[in-house]
Amino acid sequence: MEFHDILREFLTENEMTQAAFAYKIGVKPSQVSEWLHEKAKPGYDTLRAMATAFNISADYFLGITDTY
| Residue 26 belongs to domain spanning | 3-62
Residue type present at position 48: R
pLDDT in tens, 28-63: 999 999 999 999 999 999 999 999 999 999 999 999
Tally the domains of the chain: 1
Q: Is residue 33 part of a domain?
A: yes
pLDDT in tens, 8-20: 999 999 999 999 9
- pLDDT surpasses 90 at 3: yes
Give me the CATH number covering residue 50.
1.10.260.40
Exposed e or buried b per residue across 4-22, where buried means at least 16 C-beta atoms within 10 angstroms of its C-beta:
bebbeebbeeeeeebeebb
Q: Is residue 67 part of a domain?
A: no
Q: Is residue 56 part of a domain?
A: yes
pLDDT at site 68: 82
Whole-number Å distance between alpha carbons of 36 and 18 = 9
pTM for the whole thing? 0.90
